Structure 1
Amino acid sequence: MKENLLHFIWKLKLFSSKNLVSTFGESINIISNGTHNLNTGPDFFNAKIEINKQVWAGNVEIHVKSSDWYNHNHEIDENYDSVILHVVWEHDVEIFRKNNDKIVTLALKNYISNELLDNYNQLFSEDKKWINCENDIKRIDSFIIENWLERLYFERLEQKSQFVKQILLNTVNNWEQTLFILLAKGFGLKVNSEAFMNFASSFDFSIVRKVSTNASQLEALFFGQAGLLSSKYESVYFNNLKSEYEYLKIKFNLKPISKGQVQFFRLRPNNFPTIRLSQLAFLYNRYQNIFSKIIETNTLEGFYSLFEVKTFPFWEAHYTFETASKESTKKLTKPFIDLLLINTILPLKFVHLKSLGSDDFSSIFAIIEQIKPEKNTIISKFEELKLKSSNAFKTQALLQLKNEYCNKKLCLQCAIGKTILNKINVA
């Protein structure tokens, strides 16, 4: 028996509550189970229990064995003085208050069905499974799954928003600079996300505003601060940018990030940092008020139009400063824009809406539902289990499910796990 299972059973009243009797023979009637406490102190606050026809209000503590009370040193912790009922699986010792009054104990062992315990043991069996419920999940009512996935998406969005809030705090609530740092991180993708964030944080955003209408200076600022102009090349374009950067460096007292943070290794050419930085510079050269445009845009097609940017002309025939390549227009692709929306734009819009006191996130929901589903091994495995994803809302929710619940074995906190244990709405 696990203590977290007892918490689950008590919280959802998954036991026979009629004719309950304490270990000392007192009659027990549960009026209110109380509120689950996830912090320190008793497990359930503000319960209301009738014991031998007298109603008590207070807290409930839960253990596998009664003796765990002493193992956890509750007898010397005043936070437990208000416990009115000690709920255990197995009663092995009496528990007393400081004034020597006995704490009433309820042993649940004889009030829980074998079916529930069998379900639990089956769910948490030691068999090697990708997720605990993989044998049962396809039988769960779709209504339960859809509602749970919606909650999981917003839970994931809330997690992403914490990072946005931290950047906003670092920039003293400068939304434009926060957006710039977040976009830089997104343009850096996984390999260069940290380096691009460092570059974007290495100077005040007001400098971007001052040079944004000058394409050459803006690109020189980005490349120079990213440490990509410290080498020596014969390229005329490189040396022009370097010259521009040296001027900006003196004028604005700039200090670039250290050379070598930005990586080319294991990247496809279209994801080279040179290409992504030029596209980012193109974006800020085109729009001097990109933050307001992002806040005003509420359709997927609107975002595709907003981010219809490319590199500056030199990069149409180059991936690096040294070698020419076949000429091509290097635009942001829709899959790349989708990633920006999922990981950067929508979390930012979510935080901004909350900052205005709004709880209407329908515009965010409408966009994420239109984005094509992501493709990765986790989503593929869920498809094998008959959980199909028609859009990015579903894939984001499933990633949250796998990473935050399945991997951590938090089945008792998962709507799917609860349903399997309780055998409710299982076909």
Structure 2
Amino acid sequence: MNFPEDFLHYVWQFRSFDYNGLQTCDGEALEIINTGLLNRNAGPDFNHAKIKIGETIWAGNVEIHLKSSDWLKHNHQVNPVYENVILHVVYQHDAEITRMDGTILPVLELKDRISTDLIKKYENLFLTLTDFPCIAQIGRVDELIVNSFLSRTLVERFEQKTNAVTETLKELNGNWDETFYRFMARNFGFKINALPFELFAKAVSQQIYARHKNNPHQIEALVFGAAGFLNDHFEEEYPKNLKAEFQFLQKKYNIKPIDVSMWKFMRMRPQNFPTIRLAQFAALITKANHLFSKIMEIKDVAALRTLFENLPVNDYWKTHYHFKKVTASVNTQIGKTSVDNILLNTVALFLFAYGKHTAAPYFISRAIKLLESLPAEQNAITDKFTGAGVKMTNAFASQGILQLKKQYCDEKKCLSCGIGIKILKQA
């Protein structure tokens, strides 16, 4: 018996056992009319079941255990919630169980009714030491079934991410523009500099930038000053002027810069240095202040891209990766892959979150359409699934895969996964 109770849930739910000539352990004829609905909350495992024992039809709940004695181990005998259980389904019947009123609880033993092939399939999924349990089988699952479940996991992923948006929205008293600005800043740092970008965004609100929207130099001073890069001594005019401007603005708005040591440069391509990203971020603020409002208005995906293209980055950064360090020509524009990342992780997320928050399916549909228009992500996880035969044509699919891996594969929840269930059912 090398399986958990969840396996018996699957066996009962999908009637994956020999149910000819069913009898209770007391020898009474048993007919399953309805297995009931799986209960993922506290209480009996299946609700609203209907069975016939002898000549009597019963409606109620079904509890499932590996052994009958587990009823006692879990203290169900003193819990009134379990008084309406009409059938105890177990793999092995090893103890007689009575309800609180003294009546004997009918038991169905499945020990000799589950095929060894099904058990072996289950064990092959769970005992494999591969990147994900069904790596050898998923490529043979019907593409329609895979895509259908990925649609579910994609929605799960965005609903979870929406929770973080909602928390920040509450913190900012329902200000969507400021909430979007904070998430956008974090996205600009990607994984390595996400935290300092987030803290830097908290140091200077979007409303402050809006007051200086017609003065790019002041916006750049605010960005690099709040990020902690203007505390040094400079010889070049550009950083000297930024420092002087920031000293004035810092006093005016009581800005507390973050510690410059938080920014990471090691093992990064120079185009991804935080200084270049900050210069691009300043240019984006200059080009399109109150981005969230603009994104809500723009329906065309190509038009969304233009918001992040041809940014008016200061010419200083065409020959610098860092203050005081002159270098050869630098590409100061955001690359296509980075733009796709922002559209995926911030723009699509906020369209989805806004649609959920305002009960407006239109914005959720726009988020889905945007994901379908973006290329699939390429990383260590998606590469493994692609290698196993899963087709990923867009970011909708790759985001679904990332959620599948995290919430189902890593947690060994194959029996809650539409793909895993299909594999177990296949002959």
Shorter-chain TM-score tier? over 0.9
Q: Which residue of structure 2 aligns with residue 187 of structure 1?
A: 188
Inter-partner Cα distance in structure 1 for 2:125 and 2:255: 58
Q: Which residue of structure 2 aligns with residue 342 of structure 1?
A: 344
Q: Which residue of structure 2 aligns with residue 235 of structure 1?
A: 236
Which among 409, 413, 421 is matched to residue 406 of structure 1?
Answer: 409
Paired residue secondary structure (2:91): strand
- 1:145-199 CA distances to partner (integer Å, 9 max, x unpaired)? 2222222222222222222222222212111101110110011111110111111
The question of 1:376 aligning with 2:347 is answered: no
**Does the CA contact (< 8 Å) of 1:310 and 1:330 recur in 2?**
no
Paired residue secondary structure (1:81): helix
- Shift in Å at residue 38 of structure 1? 1.6
Give the letter aligned to residue 369 of structure 1: E
Q: Which residue of structure 1 aligns with residue 305 of structure 2?
A: 304
- Shift in Å at residue 70 of structure 1? 1.0
Q: What does 1:21-420 correspond to in 2, within 5 Å?
A: 21-124=23-126, 126-308=127-309, 309-360=311-362, 361-420=364-423
**Does the CA contact (< 8 Å) of 2:271 and 2:330 recur in 1?**
no
- Shift in Å at residue 82 of structure 1? 2.3
- 1:105-161 CA distances to partner (integer Å, 9 max, x unpaired)? 11122332333223222322x343232222222221222122222222222222222
Give the letter aligned to residue 306 of structure 1: L
Give the letter aligned to residue 162 of structure 2: S
Give the letter aligned to residue 240 of structure 1: N
Q: Which residue of structure 2 aligns with residue 12 of structure 1?
A: 14
Inter-partner Cα distance in structure 2 for 1:346 and 1:112: 46
**Does the CA contact (< 8 Å) of 1:233 and 1:239 recur in 2?**
yes
**Does the CA contact (< 8 Å) of 2:34 and 2:51 recur in 1?**
yes
- 1:196-218 CA distances to partner (integer Å, 9 max, x unpaired)? 11111224332122122221111
Inter-partner Cα distance in structure 1 for 2:143 and 2:289: 46
Inter-partner Cα distance in structure 2 for 1:421 and 1:261: 49
- Shift in Å at residue 18 of structure 1? 4.1
* Number of aligned residue pairs: 423
**Does the CA contact (< 8 Å) of 1:86 and 1:104 recur in 2?**
yes
- Shift in Å at residue 28 of structure 1? 2.3
Inter-partner Cα distance in structure 2 for 1:134 and 1:313: 50
Give the letter aligned to residue 314 of structure 1: Y
- 1:71-104 CA distances to partner (integer Å, 9 max, x unpaired)? 1122222222222211111000011112211111
Inter-partner Cα distance in structure 2 for 1:47 and 1:388: 39
Inter-partner Cα distance in structure 2 for 1:269 and 1:206: 31
Q: What is the root-mean-square deviation of aligned Cα atoms in Å?
A: 1.9
Paired residue secondary structure (2:31): strand
- Shift in Å at residue 316 of structure 1? 1.6
**Does the CA contact (< 8 Å) of 2:132 and 2:410 recur in 1?**
yes
Inter-partner Cα distance in structure 1 for 2:361 and 2:112: 46
Inter-partner Cα distance in structure 2 for 1:302 and 1:208: 24
Q: Which residue of structure 2 aligns with residue 421 of structure 1?
A: 424
Of 344-353 and 210-219, more deviation after overlay is shown by 210-219
Paired residue secondary structure (2:112): helix
Give the letter aligned to residue 80 of structure 1: Y
- Shift in Å at residue 47 of structure 1? 2.1
Unaligned 5+ runs, structure 2: none
- 1:295-353 CA distances to partner (integer Å, 9 max, x unpaired)? 12233311221111252222122111102222344111111010001111101110111
Query: Residues 101, 122 of structure 1: CA spacing in aligned structure 2 closer, same or farther, 3 A cutoff?
Result: same
**Does the CA contact (< 8 Å) of 2:204 and 2:222 recur in 1?**
no
Inter-partner Cα distance in structure 1 for 2:58 and 2:240: 81
- 1:20-64 CA distances to partner (integer Å, 9 max, x unpaired)? 211112222223222222222221223223222223232211100
Q: Indicate the percent of aligned positions where both proteins have the same amino acid.
A: 39
- Shift in Å at residue 6 of structure 1? 0.5
Inter-partner Cα distance in structure 1 for 2:260 and 2:137: 53
- Shift in Å at residue 222 of structure 1? 1.4
Inter-partner Cα distance in structure 2 for 1:304 and 1:354: 24
Paired residue secondary structure (2:210): helix
- Shift in Å at residue 291 of structure 1? 1.2
**Does the CA contact (< 8 Å) of 1:369 and 1:391 recur in 2?**
yes
Normalized against structure 2, the TM-score is what?
Answer: 0.93
Give the letter aligned to residue 223 of structure 2: F
Inter-partner Cα distance in structure 2 for 1:310 and 1:71: 68
Of 189-198 and 379-388, more deviation after overlay is shown by 379-388
Of 145-154 and 410-419, more deviation after overlay is shown by 145-154
Paired residue secondary structure (2:328): coil
**Does the CA contact (< 8 Å) of 2:188 and 2:281 recur in 1?**
yes
**Does the CA contact (< 8 Å) of 1:6 and 1:89 recur in 2?**
yes
Inter-partner Cα distance in structure 1 for 2:219 and 2:237: 17
Inter-partner Cα distance in structure 1 for 2:255 and 2:137: 59
Inter-partner Cα distance in structure 2 for 1:109 and 1:16: 10
Inter-partner Cα distance in structure 2 for 1:359 and 1:55: 43
Paired residue secondary structure (2:59): strand
Inter-partner Cα distance in structure 1 for 2:407 and 2:314: 42
**Does the CA contact (< 8 Å) of 1:153 and 1:397 recur in 2?**
yes
Inter-partner Cα distance in structure 1 for 2:116 and 2:325: 72
Give the letter aligned to residue 413 of structure 1: S
Inter-partner Cα distance in structure 1 for 2:121 and 2:129: 17
